[in-house]
Amino acid sequence: MSYCLNLPADYKSDLPCFGDYDVVVTGAGPAGIASAVTAAELDLKVLIIERLGFCGGAAVAGLSGTVCGLYKSVENPSQAKPEQLVFGFAGRFCDALYAAGGLTEPQIYGKTWVATHDCAKYKKVATDMLRQPNITVLYHTQVVDVIAAENAVTGLALHTKSGFTSVTAKRFIDASGDADLVFKLGQKTRKGQNGIIQNPTMMFKVGNVDMETYLNYWGENTISPPKVVSMLEAEDDLLRKKVWLFPTVNPGELLVNATKITGFDKRALDVTNPVDHTEAEQFSIYQAEAFFNFMKENVPGCENSYFIDYATEVGVRQTRSIDGVKTLTNNDVVSGTKFSDGMVKSAWPIELHYGDKPRTEWLVNDYYEVPFHTLVPKEGKNLIVAGRCLSSEHEALASCRVTAQCFEYGKAAALAAHISIKETLDFQAIDGNRIAQLMQKA
Ligand SMILES: Cc1cc2nc3c(=O)[nH]c(=O)nc-3n(C[C@H](O)[C@H](O)[C@H](O)COP(=O)(O)OP(=O)(O)OC[C@H]3O[C@@H](n4cnc5c(N)ncnc54)[C@H](O)[C@@H]3O)c2cc1C
């Protein structure tokens, strides 16, 4: 199958205009939500566009299910108390979610902690935040192209059920996860390690688990104990041998992060290709079913459990990363590099989903920072990214892509959009130290 990158120029110039905004945000995942809310609170007129009919991105549609990246890592979490490292928008969102009964207490995950969220509550909390006078939300709408002049984006072409339309704005935040706008602008992006990206996972939930029996067997660490890993190694049909299971806010319910999704022929997939993406969705059905059967047969407490549902779509960890003014390197992550323009801290491990066991590499009693200019493409004047498509090396991305940090990237992108509009500055010219200071204050 062949594809063309852009719509013909005369076609784009003839599109009707839906509206004109200060900031248009593409994608309503964690980064997009934080971008839109922060920009609106800075008195900017915001449009947020989402191809699905709800917000939350991979955290909701992909049922990714826990907020990672909030806490420090320590050698022995069962002997320690969780210490929060990231506050900002992530802290505010998690506080609201917790107050709504949609977030668990911290749960041990290896050498750190996570909190498991409930997707229904997540949608409600995010919807409450997005429903404010300065924000227009447009669901069921796909950004299909950028309209550009002199290396600046002037508008976006959108596809809706009613046909094509366009929007114009002063600044554009690409929170698509896939760097769709940067790619459409024809700028350099890269994918994983020489094109090989981390494997997707189909998440699912099961109910009616006898939680006491389950926890007695599994233990308090949400990562599979060695006895489970050994059993999985003997299962030919299950491609993933190390898994995570999270008790949720609902009684007797487990969130299951246990599948490795490849093609039916076991090849690594590129989910920006619709043929591969479709195969991922289909292969997911069988891997999830096979793991559920394994749980029922082998994990005490799960004998009478039932399959609640799959995620709405397969969870995608990685596609395109931009070529930014700065790039977060693998070494920055493992050596805990701090930056004067560090916009957010992270102690999340490198959690690399490739091969039969995800590899986790910990940064204990330390953290690294992500510099602001990883969000800024080398060219493009009024376009910035937020979220997992920031500029980072392959293994660094396996750490810096998680939800708490994505919320903060969204917030930083909005702060930068505000400065960029008020002071008529291209994003490349913004002083990252200023953003780092604002991130601490706001
Ligand atoms: C299987 C899996 C498990 C994970 N587990 C965890 C976990 O336990 N804890 C954790 O913290 N993180 C986890 N993550 C990571 C986390 O979910 C993501 O990194 C995070 O959601 C990325 O946020 P984002 O806003 O950058 O992008 P996304 O969440 O991917 O959101 C992008 C949004 O943009 C929309 N969009 C894309 N293109 C367009 C377009 N052209 N037009 C309109 N809309 C568009 C998408 O529909 C989507 O809603 C997991 C990820 C996966 C895949």
Whether residue 299 sits in one domain with residue 391: no
Rounded mean pLDDT, 83-99: 98
Say yes or no: CB of residue 39 within 6 Å of ligand 1.
Answer: no
For the segment 134-184, what is each residue's pLDDT rounded down to a tens digit?
A: 999 999 999 999 999 988 999 999 999 999 999 999 999 999 999 999 999
Rounded mean pLDDT, 37-49: 98
Say yes or no to pLDDT of 280 above 90.
yes
Give yes or no for a contact between 405 and 207, defined as CB atoms under 8 angstroms apart.
no
How far is Cα 275 from Cα 26, in angstroms, rounded to an integer? 24
Residue 210 or residue 4, greater confidence: 210
Ligand 1 centroid–CA 124 distance in Å is: 17
Return the closest-CA partner of residue 302 out of 247, 257, 238.
Answer: 247
Whether residue 403 sits in one domain with residue 368: yes
How far is Cα 42 from Cα 105, in angstroms, rounded to an integer? 32
Q: Is residue 101 part of a domain?
A: no
Whether residue 330 sits in one domain with residue 407: yes
Q: Is residue 81 part of a domain?
A: no
How many domains does the chain contain in total?
A: 2
In the prediction, which pLDDT does 195 show? 80
In the prediction, which pLDDT does 283 show? 98
Lookup: tokens for 178: 């896939």
Cβ atoms within 10 A of the Cβ of 124, count? 15
Reported in sequence order, the residue ranges of 150-222 that DSSP labels E, i.e. its strands, are 152-160, 163-174, 189-191, 204-207
Whether residue 158 sits in one domain with residue 43: yes
Ligand 1 centroid–CA 95 distance in Å is: 20
Whether residue 61 sits in one domain with residue 14: yes
Q: Where in the sequence is the domain holding 187, given as residue range(s)?
A: 9-65+118-194+320-346+361-441
How far is Cα 41 from Cα 36, in angstroms, rounded to an integer? 9
For the segment 173-217, what is each residue's pLDDT rounded down to a tens digit?
A: 999 999 999 999 999 999 988 888 889 999 999 999 999 999 999
Among 17-21, 280-284, 361-365, 387-391, which is the least confidently predicted range?
Answer: 361-365
In the prediction, which pLDDT does 8 show? 87
Rounded mean pLDDT, 227-236: 96
Say yes or no: CB of residue 358 within 6 Å of ligand 1.
Answer: no
Say yes or no: CB of residue 258 within 6 Å of ligand 1.
Answer: no
Give yes or no for a contact between 114 and 106, defined as CB atoms under 8 angstroms apart.
yes
Mean of all residue pLDDT scores within the chain: 96
Say yes or no to pLDDT of 441 above 90.
no
Ligand 1 binding pocket mutation candidate from 70, 107, 139, 176 (most atoms within 8 A of CB): 176
Say yes or no: CB of residue 24 within 6 Å of ligand 1.
Answer: no
Say yes or no: CB of residue 403 within 6 Å of ligand 1.
Answer: yes
Give yes or no for a contact between 168 and 16, defined as CB atoms under 8 angstroms apart.
no
Say yes or no: CB of residue 118 within 6 Å of ligand 1.
Answer: no
Model confidence band, residue 10 (pLDDT cutoffs 50, 70, 90)? confident
Instruction: Output the residue whose Cα is nearest ligand 1's atom 26.
Output: 387
Whether residue 388 sits in one domain with residue 431: yes
In the prediction, which pLDDT does 442 show? 62
Q: Please state the φ and ψ torsions of residue 209, each to the nearest 5 degrees.
A: -85, 135
Ligand 1 centroid–CA 50 distance in Å is: 12
Cβ atoms within 10 A of the Cβ of 103, count? 24
- Quote the percentage of the chain above a pLDDT of 70: 100
Ligand 1 binding pocket mutation candidate from 60, 66, 172, 388 (most atoms within 8 A of CB): 388
Whether residue 215 sits in one domain with residue 178: no
Ligand 1 binding pocket mutation candidate from 406, 407, 409 (most atoms within 8 A of CB): 406
Q: Is residue 353 part of a domain?
A: no
Ligand 1 centroid–CA 304 distance in Å is: 32
Whether residue 133 sits in one domain with residue 33: yes
Whether residue 325 sits in one domain with residue 378: yes
Rounded mean pLDDT, 327-339: 96
Say yes or no to pLDDT of 16 above 80.
yes
Q: Is residue 42 part of a domain?
A: yes
Whether residue 216 sits in one domain with residue 184: no
Bridge partners of residue 157, in order along the sequence: 145, 166
Q: Burial level of 442, CB count in 10 A (0-12/13-18/19+)?
A: middle
* Chain center to CA of 359: 19
Residue 318 or residue 39, greater confidence: 39
Q: Is residue 261 part of a domain?
A: yes
Q: Is residue 432 part of a domain?
A: yes
Residue 101 DSSP one-character state: T
pTM of the shown model: 0.97
Rounded mean pLDDT, 227-246: 96
